Amino acid sequence: MRFALMVEPQQGLTYDDQLAVARLAEELGFEAFFRSDHYANFPGDADGPATDAWAVLAGLARDTRTIGLGTLVSPVTFRHPGNFVKVVTTVDHMSGGRVEIGVGAGWNEEDHLPLGLPFPPIAERADLLEDELAMLHGLLAEDDGWSYSGTHVTVTGGRLRPRGVDRPGRPAEHGRVRPRILTGGDGSPRGLRIAARWADEFNLSSSSPERTAEKMAALDDACRSTGRDPNSLARSAMVGTMIAADEAGLERRRDAMLHTFALRASQADEWLAGRRKRWIVGTPDEARAMVRRYAEAGVERVMLQDFLPWDLEMIDLMGRELIGKV
């Protein structure tokens, strides 16, 4: 199993907070650092900072050395697809080719309305996402002069400089190397079809191992329906994670998590019982056992979703007890 660390900086993380987490993840051997792309504050302090994801990744590109960098996921509603392609290729070169491009349709109205960003219905957002994915492939890999007429976007005489960094292990398309493209979600039928058509990796969120196995089988069917080999599409899962060396430490972290989610102490047992079905929760042995269940469900990479990002000791425990041990 491969591991990435995923954080939710809209909880109130400053750039320096995120840099500390990314550098520790790099030191521990995580293959990538992913962050959400939100502008609203949740869960946590509504007055804390909610930083722009790609501005932060540009900084991390210069302030880290080896770890992969990406978003889970960037809503298509935040940035025009043409601007987005330019931003990600700029950060890709700043990082020496360590960027992975995670994109989605967006879901949170509160990310949009307070900043004057349009938030159209999901069908329109999904159409725009397909336009963006077509542009990522076209501008990164097609010959100069590529044109495209989509639902919401038209490209005439397409040309992108620079393209993605030519780095070993990356996908090649039309003889050109480009960053890996991820799509994700909860496994809706259209989301699976989009992944089968456009993605190098599909990332499933908020799912138990049992539901993950069902969605991976449905993803296989979506690939076959498009004429794609299911084995050519990588599979990952974003899984909430809370681990500790012993039960006393787990109880302390549970209490911190309750504070994060603004829950009452009386809700602790119910909250934890629900999370145990679809999170990696417990001691290192329990965590490794849960990861193996995701592996059996078809997951190749786990994005450990950390809602206690200031707790660097927990990140250290994740790295020492999971990487290379599952």
112-157 tens-digit pLDDT? 999 999 999 999 999 999 999 999 999 999 999 999 999 999 999 9
What domains are there in the chain, each with its CATH number? 2-322 (3.20.20.30)
What local confidence, expressed as pLDDT, does residue 266 receive?
85
Percent of the chain clearing pLDDT 90 (strictly above)? 91
163-210 tens-digit pLDDT? 999 999 999 999 999 999 999 999 999 999 999 999 999 999 999 999
Q: In this model, does residue 274 exceed pLDDT 90? A: no
Q: What is the mean pLDDT of residues 222-237?
A: 98
CB 239 within 8 A of CB 279: yes
CB 199 within 8 A of CB 236: no
Q: What is the mean pLDDT of residues 217-228?
A: 98
Q: What is the mean pLDDT of residues 204-228?
A: 97
Q: How sure is the predictor about 38, in pLDDT bands with cuts at 50, 70 and 90?
A: very high
288-309 tens-digit pLDDT? 999 999 999 999 999 999 999 9
Q: What is the mean pLDDT of residues 269-283?
A: 90
What does the mean pLDDT of the chain come to?
96
Handedness of CA 48, 50, 56, 60 (dihedral sign): positive
Query: Distance (Å, rounded) from C-alpha 134 to C-alpha 198?
Result: 8
What local confidence, expressed as pLDDT, does residue 268 receive?
81
Q: What is the mean pLDDT of residues 57-64?
A: 98
What local confidence, expressed as pLDDT, does residue 48 receive?
87
Q: In this model, does residue 45 exceed pLDDT 80? A: no
Q: In this model, does residue 68 exceed pLDDT 80? A: yes
* Number of CB atoms found within 10 A of residue 179's CB: 26
- DSSP-derived letter for residue 158 is E
249-271 tens-digit pLDDT? 999 999 999 888 888 888 888 88
For 58-87, the DSSP string reads: HHHHHH-SS-EEEES-EETTTS-HHHHHHH
Q: What burial class does residue 246 get, using C-beta atoms within 10 Å of its C-beta: 0-12 exposed, 13-18 middle, 19+ buried?
A: exposed
* Number of CB atoms found within 10 A of residue 117's CB: 15
User: Amino acid identity of 119?
Assistant: F
Q: What is the dihedral of CA 127, 152, 104, 171, to 10 degrees?
A: 100
CB 257 within 8 A of CB 242: yes
Percent of the chain clearing pLDDT 70 (strictly above)? 99
Q: What is the mean pLDDT of residues 66-71?
A: 98
What local confidence, expressed as pLDDT, does residue 262 receive?
84
